[in-house]
């Protein structure tokens, strides 16, 4: 079974239930970056998202 890259925003922002899950890491990072920027006004780099927020499930 393919691995999926998952971001559970609740770990970054306690009141947010946003979850991204994609088999494509690049896509997951793009979606996560857009969400963090638009909803939380936070600019994360790809590396920060990959190392601190994305889980492989």
Residues near Zn ion, by CB under 5 A: 9, 13, 16, 18, 39
Q: Are 14 and 32 in contact (CB under 8 A)?
A: no
2 vs 57, beta carbon nearer Zn ion = 57
Least distance (Å) between residue 51 CB and Zn ion: 18
48: left (phi over 0), alpha (psi -120 to 50) or beta: alpha
Q: Are 33 and 44 in contact (CB under 8 A)?
A: yes
Least distance (Å) between residue 3 CB and Zn ion: 22
26 vs 37, beta carbon nearer Zn ion = 37
């Amino acid at each position: 079974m393919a691995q999926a890259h998952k971001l559970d925003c609740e770990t970054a922002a306690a009141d947010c239930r946003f979850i991204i899950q994609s088999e494509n890491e690049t896509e997951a990072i793009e979606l996560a970056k857009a969400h963090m920027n638009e909803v939380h006004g936070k600019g994360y780099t790809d590396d920060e998202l990959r190392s601190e927020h994305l889980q492989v499930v």
